């Protein structure tokens, strides 16, 4: 029997703010420079983790990175927060490591020729505020998965031809009771308005590094990219043998490559591209219960939208999923990340999961501890001008340093790369 896929969510950091740094992400641009609530954001994300845990799904916590990223600012001659240019300050304070769907590509051991779990951190070169995460992400993943069962690869070279944004453009399909599957890599099409963020060369290189047996490569539809589909997980969702996608997701798809699986096409007339993006319908989180049933964790925005709600209703009525749970992750949604953006899927065997750092495995005690830590250290309001306040920087670094001690993790050197 296949282990229910473990989940690892990013804990929202204390400098969560809206800087509008993600060109091509409609929600990020729309809410640029508005006031954020870091405490609310962190508690929303943590409650989602607890909800998944209570469903019986293994849930790990990925801690936030040190922000502001002084290790990035100091080599650039920035000796003080007060004198750092605003556009650079926004980059240094970004809490975007919360969206761990971009942290890495993870391939299960059953898919690889050497029988190992392969992990490649994404290079995230498309956006500078994300690129500065990569060194810390790599170091954290090695602390979380230290066992010899895991092969940790270096990120691909930081060049546009190797642009890689991790699991947000990667899917793993398999039969319900079989670990062996097919891995799908989605890469960018020739869009006009917004740049594509995943290259075909990057996808093929990762597939080769991971020694994968069965792969499919799909090209994003430029129409979708230009509408605001910056990652595949904004226009498609998958789990086990279920693959749900919008009719405008791909330029073309040979269904014969995927005839072992259940393909569900959602048409434009059923859910418009505009509504799919505004509600993050496809960025809902599919998880399997210990019983084997698949349920969906969807953003509350889907419940409030007639088309999105109707699509979920017929997915349940037709037996594709057992239930839909609508949760509030609005602080993340305003910055362009839904339930699926906040988590990295971990298709691990029980033995492999047992070797992961147990300090990060969520239980009732850790949940309570993290809630109290958030209450003690997080502000409930950050405006753009607050980033110049040295006390915010000091508070954030001290809080995250305390968290790493609580979790038994080695603090990352120089607060950055």
Question: Which residues contact residue 306 at a Cβ distance below 8 angstroms, ignoring those fewer than 6 apart?
Answer: none
Q: Which pLDDT score, from 0 to 100, does residue 22 have? A: 82
Name which of 20-24, 40-44, 391-395, 412-416 the model is least confident about: 412-416
Q: Is the pLDDT of residue 177 over 80?
A: no
pLDDT in tens, 148-168: 999 999 999 999 999 999 999
3-state secondary structure of 27: helix
Q: Is the pLDDT of residue 124 over 70?
A: yes
Q: Which pLDDT score, from 0 to 100, does residue 94 have? A: 96
Q: Which helix (H) or strand (E) holds 204?
A: helix 200-209
Q: Is the pLDDT of residue 341 over 70?
A: yes
Q: Is the pLDDT of residue 299 over 50?
A: yes
Q: Which pLDDT score, from 0 to 100, does residue 416 have? A: 40
**Tokens for 323?**
């239930």
- Catalytic residues, by residue number, are 165, 231, 341
Inter-residue contact 176 to 2 (CB < 8 Å): yes
Q: Which pLDDT score, from 0 to 100, does residue 136 have? A: 96
Q: Is the pLDDT of residue 72 over 60?
A: yes
Residue with tokens 């605003």: 86
Span 75-82, average pLDDT: 88
Question: Alpha-carbon distance 378 to 36, whole Å?
Answer: 12
Q: Which pLDDT score, from 0 to 100, does residue 359 have? A: 97
Q: Which pLDDT score, from 0 to 100, does residue 34 have? A: 86
pTM of structure: 0.95
**Tokens for 177?**
């009771």
Q: What is the mean pLDDT of the chain?
A: 94
Name which of 165-179, 235-249, 338-352 the model is least confident about: 165-179
Name which of 24-28, 45-49, 70-74 the model is least confident about: 24-28
Question: Alpha-carbon distance 342 to 102, whole Å?
Answer: 9
Q: Which pLDDT score, from 0 to 100, does residue 80 have? A: 86
Q: Which pLDDT score, from 0 to 100, does residue 2 have? A: 56
pLDDT in tens, 260-289: 899 999 999 999 999 999 999 999 999 999
Q: Is the pLDDT of residue 82 over 90?
A: no
Q: Which pLDDT score, from 0 to 100, does residue 196 have? A: 87
Q: Is the pLDDT of residue 367 over 50?
A: yes
pLDDT-derived band at 3 (thresholds 50, 70, 90) equals: low
Inter-residue contact 319 to 36 (CB < 8 Å): no
DSSP 122: -
Q: Which pLDDT score, from 0 to 100, does residue 189 have? A: 77
**Domains defined for the chain, CATH in brackets:** 6-415 (3.75.10.20)
Q: Which pLDDT score, from 0 to 100, does residue 274 have? A: 96
Q: Above pLDDT 70, what percent of the chain?
A: 98
Question: Alpha-carbon distance 307 to 304, whole Å?
Answer: 9
pLDDT in tens, 196-249: 899 999 999 999 999 999 999 999 999 999 999 999 999 999 999 999 999 999
pLDDT-derived band at 4 (thresholds 50, 70, 90) equals: low
Q: Which pLDDT score, from 0 to 100, does residue 1 have? A: 46
Q: Exposed/middle/buried for 89, CB within 10 Å: 0-12, 13-18, 19+?
A: buried
Inter-residue contact 166 to 122 (CB < 8 Å): yes
Question: Which residues contact residue 110 at a Cβ distance below 8 angstroms, ignoring those fewer than 6 apart?
Answer: 174, 179, 180, 181
Residues recorded for the chain: 417
């Amino acid at each position: 029997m296949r282990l229910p896929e473990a989940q690892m969510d990013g804990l929202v950091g204390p400098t969560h703010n809206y800087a509008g740094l993600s060109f091509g992400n409609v929600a990020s641009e729309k809410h640029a420079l508005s006031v954020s609530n870091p405490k609310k954001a962190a508690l929303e994300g943590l409650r989602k983790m607890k909800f998944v845990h209570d469903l019986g799904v293994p849930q790990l916590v990925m801690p936030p990175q040190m922000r502001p990223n002084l290790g990035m600012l100091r080599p650039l001659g920035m000796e003080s927060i007060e004198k750092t240019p605003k556009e650079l300050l926004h980059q240094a304070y970004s809490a975007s490591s919360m969206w761990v769907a971009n942290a890495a590509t993870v391939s299960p051991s059953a898919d690889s020729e050497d029988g190992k779990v392969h992990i490649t951190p994404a290079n995230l070169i498309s956006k500078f505020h994300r690129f500065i995460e990569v060194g810390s992400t790599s170091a954290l993943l090695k602390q979380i998965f230290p066992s010899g069962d895991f092969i940790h690869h270096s990120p691909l070279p930081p060049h546009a031809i190797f642009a890689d944004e991790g699991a947000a453009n990667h899917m793993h399909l398999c039969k319900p009771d079989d670990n062996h599957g097919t891995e799908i890599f989605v890469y960018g099409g020739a869009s006009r308005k917004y740049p594509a963020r995943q290259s075909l060369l990057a996808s093929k290189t990762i597939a080769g590094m991971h020694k994968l047996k069965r792969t499919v490569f799909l090209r994003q539809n430029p129409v979708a990219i230009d509408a605001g589909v910056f990652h595949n997980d904004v226009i498609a969702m998958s789990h086990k043998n279920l693959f749900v996608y919008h009719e405008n997701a791909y330029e073309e798809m040979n269904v014969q490559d995927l005839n072992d699986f259940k393909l569900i096409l959602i048409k434009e007339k059923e859910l418009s591209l505009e509504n799919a993006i505004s509600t993050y319908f496809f960025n809902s989180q599919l998880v399997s219960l210990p019983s084997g049933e698949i349920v969906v964790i969807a953003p509350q925005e889907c419940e409030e939208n007639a088309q999105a709600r109707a699509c979920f209703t017929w997915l349940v009525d037709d037996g594709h999923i057992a239930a839909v749970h609508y949760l509030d992750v609005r602080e993340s949604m305003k910055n362009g990340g839904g339930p699926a953006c906040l988590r990295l899927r971990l298709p691990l065997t029980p033995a492999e999961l047992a070797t992961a750092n147990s300090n990060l495995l969520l239980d009732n005690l850790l949940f309570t501890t993290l809630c109290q830590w958030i209450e003690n250290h997080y502000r409930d309001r950050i405006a753009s001008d607050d980033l110049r306040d040295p006390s915010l920087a000091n508070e954030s670094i001290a809080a995250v340093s305390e968290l790493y001690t609580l979790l038994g993790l080695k603090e990352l050197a120089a607060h950055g790369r």
